[in-house]
Amino acid sequence: MYRRFERLVDSFAPFDEKTPPANLFAYYRTQWSSFGRFVPYMAATGAAVAIMESGLLFYSGRLIDLMANAGPGAFLGLHMLELALVASFVILARPLLIGLHHLFLEQMLSGNLMDQARWRAHKHMLGQSMGYFQNDFAGRLSNRVMQLGSAVEDTTYMFFEAVWFASAYVIGAIIVVTGIDWRISLPLVIWVVVFCAYTHRIAKRVAVASEKWSDARSLVSGRVVDAYANIETVKLFAHGAREEAYARSSMKRHQLRFQRFLRLMTELQLGLNVINGILLVGMMVPAIWLWTAGTVTIGEVAVASALAIRLNGMSGWIMWVVIRLFEQAGVVREGLRSVSVPHAVTDRAQAGELKVTAGEIRFDGLTHHYGKDTGGLTDVNLTIPAGQKVGLVGRSGAGKSSLVNLLLRFRDVEQGRILIDGQDVGAVTQDSLRQAIGMVTQDSSLLHRSVRANILYGKPEATEAEMVEAAERAEAHRFIQDLEDPKGRRGYNAFVGERGVKLSGGQRQRIALARVILKDAPILILDEATSALDSEVEAAIQETLYGVMEGKTVIAIAHRLSTIAQMDRIIVLDHGRVVEDGSHEDLLSSGGLYAGLWARQSGGFLGIEAAE
């Protein structure tokens, strides 16, 4: 039975993958759409439970009057059948109705809505550009995604479990008391109006305070995670105290905003108790007065008293729920700052798959300044024939990384085109473009998964033999066999730690090379691909790389010019423009920038004096 209700909604079903709306209620509607056909059932069962609860209080008053009128001797004889029916209802029908209501709330709603909100937010975030993630804390972004899901679920659950229930209960109570005497119900109606006005006033202030509190909480999470993720740098520079101060400042801000939030909670409780005191006196005084006048019975006075006491106790819970609703609304608004951001790089409506038939790359009038007046690339015209191996050289900031990032379409070009086999990379899907390109970077970070999972990331459908062969070609198989993680997993099953921290830089780079070797893409980009390797391993890897390059179009970036001297062609960039183009020998003989860089190397490395 539980599983049947849990499967009424699929949290991970396909959905309209537009940018989530920034408006709070519009965003809620997108999340509730999957549950729309079940809302009437939740509303009906919730209202029925609330009316049933107020009806039980009404019947308790009737029971007192029946007992008083019949007396001990005749009571059971006169009302046994009625009592039996009521007892059966309380024992059987009432639990079934409440149980059905909670099956909808817990199994159908809560069991799916939280993960649906998180899944959709995460799916949208994965489509963001590289620049989006570079401009924020990973910890803050993940915190917002996680909090968003729980806040959406919590507010929706509380609405049906508390706000809807309480509204139906109060309406039922007003009907019951009005049936006794309208003069008793009048204070109740006035209390409802005052209570709602006061709650709304406080709740609006809570929403603002909650959003600021949530923002401060995300900042703390971002700074703490940033320190943990870069703990090696923190310790190398002995900046533990600096990181403590950095985190402490955000924690103090969090504490201040939390304290302001708690002030509202205290103010809320003081005002609530005043309002509830008025309710108790306002209902009890006219009820007793009407009883003394013979207008109402003792049982009806008991009903009015029980409802007043019940509403007195319930009001604190109702107001807490409403405050929580506004508090969680603040959390959702804070989360939407990150989640409702449109994708900077998107596939066109009719984007097709990139079909690499040869591997020719052409940069046609390429200009990109990152939205500024200077920097980046300016009017780059460059053709790399299929199968050619090109070295990309230049001082820091010359535009080498910009050229590669635009080729990979981590950003969209501002002017000009990039063509692969005559196809504009902006007109094909991003996935098909990047599937056609293999890249090894200087900072070869790995996923916190097994060695096997990291290598197979290049080609998930590869066989075990193909994976091992790729590792062997990358000179990684031998050390992988000796790996063991803290949980006893060995070899290819060993986990590498977050970003591969359990491995040395050279080991990470060799696993990253194995991943690219296994991918076997027709275009290969090497960005300081052997910089983390020792000389002996680098020599072996260089031979492997030359084999991997066969039949591929290759772009290699290196400051160590000796590693690219054997390339078919060398392109020299300076201030975002192509200033030299030719073979190693031709560029040396021309006596230009490349020749100067080569002459100034220290141990084959492009040093600071070269940049000067």
**pLDDT tens per residue, range 448-500:** 889 999 999 999 999 999 999 999 988 889 999 999 888 889 999 999 877 67
Q: What is the largest CA-CA distance in the chain?
A: 123
423-424 and 437-440 beta bridge pairing: unpaired
CA distance to 241, 533, 538, 562, per residue, from 475 (Å): 41, 11, 10, 21
Residues 348, 359: Cα–Cα separation, whole Å: 22
Residues 319, 332: Cα–Cα separation, whole Å: 20
What pLDDT does 418 receive?
A: 95
Range 28-339 classified under CATH 1.20.1560.10: yes
What pLDDT does 611 receive?
A: 40
pLDDT over threshold 50, residue 233: yes
pTM of the model: 0.75
How many CA atoms does the CB half-sphere of 463 hold within 13 Å? 3
Only one residue has tokens 């635009």, namely 406
Percent of the chain scoring above 70 in pLDDT:
95
Residues 6+ apart with CB under 8 A from 42: 101, 104, 105, 109, 160
What pLDDT does 607 receive?
A: 43
361-368 and 415-420 beta bridge pairing: antiparallel
Question: Per-residue confidence at 570, pLDDT binned at 50, 70, 90?
Answer: very high
Residues 6+ apart with CB under 8 A from 173: 54, 57, 188, 307, 310, 311
Contact criterion met (CB below 8 Å) for 554 and 547: no
pLDDT over threshold 80, residue 12: yes
Residues 156, 172: Cα–Cα separation, whole Å: 23
Query: What number does CATH give the domain 446-518?
Result: 3.40.50.300
Mean pLDDT of the region 412-433: 93
According to the 3-state scheme, what is the secondary structure of 258-315? HHHHHHHHHHHHHHHHHHHHHHHHHHHHHHHHHHHCCCCCHHHHHHHHHHHHHHHHHH
Question: Per-residue confidence at 427, pLDDT binned at 50, 70, 90?
Answer: very high
Question: Per-residue confidence at 20, pLDDT binned at 50, 70, 90?
Answer: very high
Mean pLDDT of the region 410-427: 93
Dihedral angle computed from the Cα positions of residues 187, 188, 193 and 197, in that order, rounded to the nearest 10 degrees:
100
What pLDDT does 610 receive?
A: 40
Pick the range with the lowest mean pLDDT from 84-88, 143-147, 280-284.
280-284
Amino acid identity of residue 483, one-letter, is L
Q: What is the DSSP string of 53-66?
A: HHHHHHHHHHHHHH
pLDDT over threshold 70, residue 91: yes
E strand or H helix at 383? strand 377-384
List pLDDT tens digits, range 168-210: 888 888 888 888 888 888 888 888 888 888 877 877 787 788 7
Contact criterion met (CB below 8 Å) for 143 and 218: yes
What pLDDT does 56 receive?
A: 82
pLDDT over threshold 50, residue 398: yes
Pick the range with the lowest mean pLDDT from 301-305, 473-477, 503-507, 605-609.
605-609
Residues 6+ apart with CB under 8 A from 372: none
Only one residue has tokens 């009057």, namely 65
Question: Per-residue confidence at 529, pLDDT binned at 50, 70, 90?
Answer: low
Pick the range with the lowest mean pLDDT from 110-119, 201-210, 517-526.
201-210
pLDDT over threshold 50, residue 603: no
Range 353-436+521-612 classified under CATH 3.40.50.150: no
Residue 189's Cβ-count burial label (10 Å; 0-12, 13-18, 19+) is middle
pLDDT over threshold 90, residue 580: yes
The boundaries of every CATH 1.20.1560.10 domain in the chain are 28-339
The boundaries of every CATH 3.40.50.300 domain in the chain are 353-436+521-612, 446-518
Question: Per-residue confidence at 279, pLDDT binned at 50, 70, 90?
Answer: confident
Length of the chain: 612
Contact criterion met (CB below 8 Å) for 254 and 214: no
Pick the range with the lowest mean pLDDT from 137-151, 304-318, 374-388, 413-427.
304-318
Question: Per-residue confidence at 609, pLDDT binned at 50, 70, 90?
Answer: very low
Only one residue has tokens 């040869």, namely 358
Mean pLDDT, the chain, integer: 85
Only one residue has tokens 């759409």, namely 33
